[in-house]
Amino acid sequence: MPSNVNRGPRQIWAALIWSLKGLRAGWCVEASFRLEVILLVILFPIGLWLGDGALEKALLAGSLLPVPAAELLNSGIEALADKLWPEHNPIAGRVKDMGSAAVFLLMLNVLVIWIVILGARLS
């Protein structure tokens, strides 16, 4: 790594600002992201409350965080694909479908974790 790259507080601050801009853009542009954030805000504390011990709390609450993160990545991929291929393109369609599938798999992961942990208490 070049020695002239400054990795001090200013760069950390700049990275934080860029991240906040990305979160704001996701909130303003993507309805799916807004819904996932609302569900996160509701379910995260419920997961902490329902979890029996640190591991269950971490699994129930922590499994929610990757979903909106993946949604942001998917939205970025979709925006880039739309910019590169404004006309219908099978590769762009496949890329967008795969990004959507990644979000879907993370949602399934949340369901499996919540069902396994909370379902065990019902049996």
Enumerate the active-site residues. Answer: 71
Residue with token string 């409350």: 49
Distances (CA, A) of 91 to 20, 64, 67, 85, 96: 31, 30, 24, 9, 9
The amino acid present at 17, given as its one-letter code, is I
- Between CA 59 and CA 62 the distance in angstroms is 5
What DSSP character marks residue 3?
T
- Between CA 100 and CA 96 the distance in angstroms is 6
The amino acid present at 49, given as its one-letter code, is W
